[in-house]
Structure 1
Amino acid sequence: MSPAIQSPRLAARALIIQEGRLLLVNAYPKHHLGLWCAPGGGVERGSSIPDNLIREVFEETGLIVTVGDLALINEFHDPQSGFHQVDLIFHCTLVKGQIDPNWKDVAGVVSKRKWVTKAQMETLTIKPSSLADIAFASPGPAIYDPLEAILK
């Protein structure tokens, strides 16, 4: 029997680069599956996508950012559960703050944060798969990264 069809979840994520390194966070509570992603999360109704992203980045990292241009639209899904998410990934600029290892994510999801180089990203499990190439590329028009399974 196939999983129930669900509407895709909309999320916003931030590409924050400092000194040639991109900020990543764990994607699941307690770093389940060892998956890393850009900080951000679900878009709440009644608030703009940039405002949602600013809120999510602060909740997960304690950092304050401004939201720039859209860099990537990515879709991923879990074929077994039917979960489907569309991520809008934006270039962001760090305005204030630094990573505090004692920071507590209000949602209890993010417990690990780290700055990584493009080369270091090759040794990690990261979603979307195109994140390193997009994050470290010269600015240009937004890219669409087709639907991929969350884990292969």
Structure 2
Amino acid sequence: MRLYGNRLRLRVCGLCLIDEKLLMVRHRGIGPTDTFWCPPGGGPQYGETAYEALVREFHEETGLSIEVGELQFVNEFMQTPLHAMELFFDVQIVGGQLRQGFDPEMSADRQIITEVRLMTFDEIKSFPENEVHQLFRKCRSMDDVFHLKGYLKQ
């Protein structure tokens, strides 16, 4: 929270579907239950394009190399003290090996990524709403996720 909280951040996120399962990353330190699942992504660095940032963040968090596709939607994430404008893109895997990644801004003993895995829509929806990204509240199926467009209102 000290590193990312109490300021507006830009985030880029990748929607990666493999065999009807969405690639998800579990973070600790977010929310009341210390568990938060969301698609891979993170913040661009100064001078880095959104596409470049997503390729880097995806590799850091999952070990996978991707090709970035179309911008699907924009989400404004607000869960005090976090506030982020999130750009969600379709992505396709072009290489690498799936693994639990890391956050280079954190020391080895303070990593916040605790798991990376493919999940069905039913698995995602089986978690309490506060443990998964709010975008899933707007969806009744995996197909709905890939039909979200524009700016998602809270």
TM-score (norm 1): 0.77
Residue matched to 1:121: 124
Residue matched to 2:108: none
Give the Cα–Cα distance (whole angstroms) in 2 for the partners of residues 67 and 120 of structure 1: 25
RMSD, matched Cα: 2.7
Of 121-130 and 60-69, more deviation after overlay is shown by 121-130
1:13-51 Cα deviation digits (max 9, x unpaired): 000111110000013359962210000101111010010
Of 110-119 and 49-58, more deviation after overlay is shown by 110-119
Match of 2:114 among 111, 115, 120: 111
Residue matched to 1:51: 52
Give the Cα–Cα distance (whole angstroms) in 2 for the partners of residues 109 and 44 of structure 1: 19
TM-score (norm 2): 0.76
Identity of aligned residues (%): 26
Structure 2 runs not aligned, ≥5 long:
1-5, 106-110
- Which residue identity does 2:104 align to in structure 1? V
**Residues 10 and 23 of structure 1: is their aligned pair in 2 closer, same or farther, counting only changes over 3 Å?**
same
The 8 Å contact of residues 25 and 38 in structure 2, kept in 1 or not, is answered as: yes
**Residues 131 and 110 of structure 1: is their aligned pair in 2 closer, same or farther, counting only changes over 3 Å?**
farther
Q: Say if 2:144 is the partner of 1:143.
A: no
- Which residue identity does 1:89 align to in structure 2? F
Residue matched to 1:18: 18
Count of residues paired in the alignment: 139
Residue matched to 1:28: 28
**Residues 62 and 48 of structure 1: is their aligned pair in 2 closer, same or farther, counting only changes over 3 Å?**
same
- Which residue identity does 2:143 align to in structure 1? F
Of 83-92 and 120-129, more deviation after overlay is shown by 120-129
SS in 1 for 2:51: helix
The 8 Å contact of residues 25 and 110 in structure 1, kept in 2 or not, is answered as: yes
The 8 Å contact of residues 29 and 35 in structure 2, kept in 1 or not, is answered as: no
**Residues 88 and 104 of structure 1: is their aligned pair in 2 closer, same or farther, counting only changes over 3 Å?**
closer
Give the Cα–Cα distance (whole angstroms) in 2 for the partners of residues 69 and 89 of structure 1: 9
**Residues 28 and 118 of structure 1: is their aligned pair in 2 closer, same or farther, counting only changes over 3 Å?**
same
Give the Cα–Cα distance (whole angstroms) in 1 for the partners of residues 39 and 137 of structure 2: 8
CA offset at residue 76 of structure 1? 1.5
